[in-house]
Amino acid sequence: MTREHDEDRDALEELEGEAFEGHLKPEDVLAEPEPPTEEERPWGAPAPVVTDEGVYGTLPPRRPSFDEYQRESRPRRNTGLRLAGTALAVAAGLWLLVFSASQASSETVARPALESLLDTMVGLPELLELHHDEIAEVSGDATVPGYPLAITIPAEEVAAGPEHWREVLLEQSSALLYQEGPSALSSGEDTGGGGTFSTSGGVKLLMSNLTESRHASLAFLVWPLGLAAIVAAIAVIALGPSFSRFVTLGVSTAVAGFPAIGLGILSWLIVTFVGSDGSALADTAHSIASDLAWSPLRNGLTFVVTGLVVAVLARLLASVFRAPAAASRRREAYEDYE
């Protein structure tokens, strides 16, 4: 017993000597070591020890977490995708607005509308019937008295009768109004000097927007805006992972349709005020403007519905194809964990 005690005391003295030489205190030598830090312990928490007396350490969960095997986050790429999606929504929205206005002011749409307005405003059938004899007696090109445009009936068309005269006058008049606007009307037969929300003011505003110069200005903007939208769509496809790119494309397309819908609704509200006096000219202008307002509404609804369908389908396909891939990754991760 004494011998063992002497050996323990010699060992303690030896440790104390080593501690003094290393400038350590005996209590530091005999104290329990501090647990390693995360940098010193690259493989995670130490494995637990199970003994008859109990468990030392922390047991792993019954369903282990595989966070380390998940796809690494890409904050820069996600930010780029969001910016590209926003740029696509803005560019496509502006393009759709300009395209709808350009479509409404195109010659194939504008000239029939101008013919209807002019026919109602002048009362052309009654005017031709009133001056039938005067026109029929003319040997050369015939001028219609009281007609507000400098248009004549060609000599070879005079013998055709009032119905043909009407077609010739409206065709030539719509071409002139489309080129020059309401300024081509003679001063005595203008649409009037009422406000914008009066019938005369509304008709003049409608005519001034159905011109070749307005269509050319809008058509000039269609191509650069369309090119910007295409570039933004390519960026979305390039930056988006898997089906997320199509979800972003669909959402951006749907958002781009709302400004056109707003323009159509606003145009319809203005048309309602214009056609408030119940006259024949107001009814004609109301009908024409309603048809023109339907163009941005139709285009906007098409974008919204198409975008939502693409986004929903992409989301469903992503969930369908993601489940087997996720199960495979979990299986591989579990095998690595074991």
pLDDT tens readout for residues 154-213: 887 777 777 788 888 889 988 999 998 888 886 544 444 455 556 677 778 888 888 999
Per-residue model confidence as pLDDT tens digits over 116-161:
888 888 888 888 888 878 887 777 788 888 888 888 888 877 777 7
Residue 40 CA: distances (Å) to CA of 37, 46, 68: 5, 12, 18
**In terms of residue numbers, what domain contains 166?**
106-210
Q: Is residue 329 helix, strand or coil?
A: helix
Domain-embedded: residue 16: no
Average pLDDT over residues 279-295: 82
What the block records as the tokens of 177 is 């109004």
Let me know whether 144 and 272 are in one domain: no
Tell me if the pTM is above 0.75: no
Please determine, for residue 259, whether its predicted confidence score (pLDDT) is greater than 80. Answer: yes
pLDDT score of 114 more than 50: yes
Residue 100 shares a structural domain with residue 116: no
Let me know whether 112 and 253 are in one domain. Answer: no
For residue 106, count CB atoms less than 10 angstroms from its CB and return exposed for 0-12, middle for 13-18, buried for 19 or more.
middle
Residue 176: inside a domain, yes or no? yes
| Domain-located, residue 146 | yes
Query: What is the per-residue pLDDT across 46-101, written as a single tens digit (0 to 9) for each?
Result: 666 667 666 666 666 555 454 444 444 555 667 888 899 999 999 999 999 999 99
- The overall average pLDDT reported for the chain is 77
Instruction: Tally the domains of the chain.
Output: 2
Query: Of 105, 118, 107, nearest to 169 (Cα)?
Result: 118
